[in-house]
Amino acid sequence: MEKFVINGGKPLKGTVKISGAKNAAVAILPAVLLSDEPCTIENLPQISDVQTLLESLSTLGADVKLINKDTVRIDPRGVRSCLVTKEMAEGMRASSYFLGALLGRCKNAVVAPPGGCDFGVRPIDLHIKGFETLGADVSIENGMVEAHAEELFGGSVYLDMVSVGATINIMLAAVKAKGLTVIENAAREPHIVDLANFLNSMGANIMGAGTSNIRIRGVEHLKGTTYSIIPDQIEAGTYMVAAVATKGDVLIENVIPKHLESIIAKLVEVGASVTEYDESIRVKMTTRPKCCNIKTMPHPGFPTDMQPQFGVLLSVADGTSVINEGVWDNRYRYLDQLSSMRAQVRVDGKTAIINGVEELSPAAVSAVDLRAGAALIIAGLMTKGETSVGQIQYIDRGYEFIAEKFSALGADIKRVSVPDEVQNIKLA
């Protein structure tokens, strides 16, 4: 077990380079299974979710070769198995993408139910509805999701809720189905566009990604490609909030500013100075943040994956802020941790009311999920004294070299080993 120990209260200053997008990478890697030839994927983030997926691809029979630290060549021609076991799927929501990818490749998939962060109920009913519309039989047998089809045929799927996962999974299953598939009320996140661009670069025929109506005309074969993943919108947003929270001045490089509009708008509202360049953004703050209200929504609304980082920032804002979580049922567990740092918060269902205090007090807290963990690091960075953040395996799932990147900005943050029993006593 490891934890981060942070000696906070220092403004972040300097330049940080953003890595490839986790949520694009975890969709594109299973999508390689649809190719008839090897694919080279560049700008892969070095995070544990990517590592887990590469191991799963290898277990399925793909030949996986690291070309350099962020480039991998995957040859799926040796894949014979369509079984993704509980051990392979554990801890990762994106393992569900093997359902669509294997169904598309071999019309047969047996995949353990996906894991991932605990935000309350995380169903896959819309994914299943999509597979069934394409002609697959889907059942749960012995705790495994099984999907089979003699042949997949295009069809029209209306998503009752905007779902990133269902949109991606249906695209994966439809890309080699016979005829036209239409996904209505599709999610519009940047990583959906990235997946579509990746598949199109292999010869797929996907139109409308980035709008709520995606049209996929099935093709028989997909060829190999070399593809570079987009920068991570949420990692960029996390460093932007950290710069503001520590009253720092940070240039964030390798970003697509268009993907960050809703985040920039809120940072400006709390009083930050944000300057946009072609592929970078400078974020500067000199005062205490003002309070603001936030409602999370599917893209292009304010992203739920930035809600915890803003919750931390608003805990020291001047005034009362109200957050409304519009995507997940239960995404406020980090606020219990923040309360132990003397934040003044109240949660009522999907609403959190945050009364800003002048400053937080350092404490030993625990990363309850991936983004919560990043948010609690920000809490440590902006608070004078020593804060420790435990359970950092969640953070390692999605942030490449986070301690190193913050250290390069002048933060005092160290990764420290903790004997298992000590960490358990602290958590109890």
Q: Which residues lie near ligand UD1 (CB under 6 A)?
A: 23, 26, 93-94, 121-127, 161, 163-166, 187, 304-305, 327-328
Tell the smallest beta-carbon distance from residue 382 to ligand UD1 (Å).
Answer: 24
Q: How far is CA 367 from CA 19, 96, 103, 168, 232, in A?
A: 21, 24, 35, 28, 20
Tell the smallest beta-carbon distance from residue 284 to ligand UD1 (Å).
Answer: 28
Closer of 70 and 189 to ligand UD1 (Cβ): 189
Tell the smallest beta-carbon distance from residue 119 to ligand UD1 (Å).
Answer: 7
Query: Please, what sign has the CA dihedral across residues 216, 217, 220, 221?
Result: negative
Tell the smallest beta-carbon distance from residue 408 to ligand UD1 (Å).
Answer: 26
Residue nearest to ligand UD1 (CB): 165
Tell the smallest beta-carbon distance from residue 331 to ligand UD1 (Å).
Answer: 8
Rounded-to-integer distance, Cα 169 and Cα 240, Å? 31
Tell the smallest beta-carbon distance from residue 369 to ligand UD1 (Å).
Answer: 10
For residue 75, the one-letter residue type is D
Closer of 387 and 391 to ligand UD1 (Cβ): 391
User: Taking the C-alpha atoms of 339, 397, 145 and 59 in order, what is their torsion angle to the nearest 10 degrees?
Assistant: -160
Contact 14, 408 (CB under 8 A): yes
CA of residue 421 relative to chain centroid, distance:
30
Say whether 11 sits in a helix, a strand or coil: coil
Rounded-to-integer distance, Cα 192 and Cα 173, Å? 14
Rounded-to-integer distance, Cα 399 and Cα 16, Å? 13
Q: Which residues fall within 8 angstroms of residue 241, CB to CB, at 6 or more apart? A: 263, 267, 306, 309, 310, 312, 313, 378
Closer of 308 and 362 to ligand UD1 (Cβ): 308
Closer of 23 and 280 to ligand UD1 (Cβ): 23
**Alpha helix locations (H) across 254-391?**
261-269, 307-314, 333-339, 370-382
Closer of 206 and 219 to ligand UD1 (Cβ): 206
Using alpha carbons only, how large is the chain's radius of gyration in Å?
A: 21
Phi, psi of 175 (to 5 degrees): -65, -25
Query: Please, what sign has the CA dihedral across residues 353, 359, 361, 362?
Result: positive
Closer of 31 and 382 to ligand UD1 (Cβ): 31
Tell me if residue 117 is catalytic.
yes
For residue 111, the one-letter residue type is V
Tell the smallest beta-carbon distance from residue 298 to ligand UD1 (Å).
Answer: 6
Closer of 145 and 244 to ligand UD1 (Cβ): 145
From 60, 65, 75, select the one nearest 106 (Cα to Cα): 60
Q: Which of 39, 82, 117, 292 is catalytic?
A: 117
- What residues are labeled active site? 117
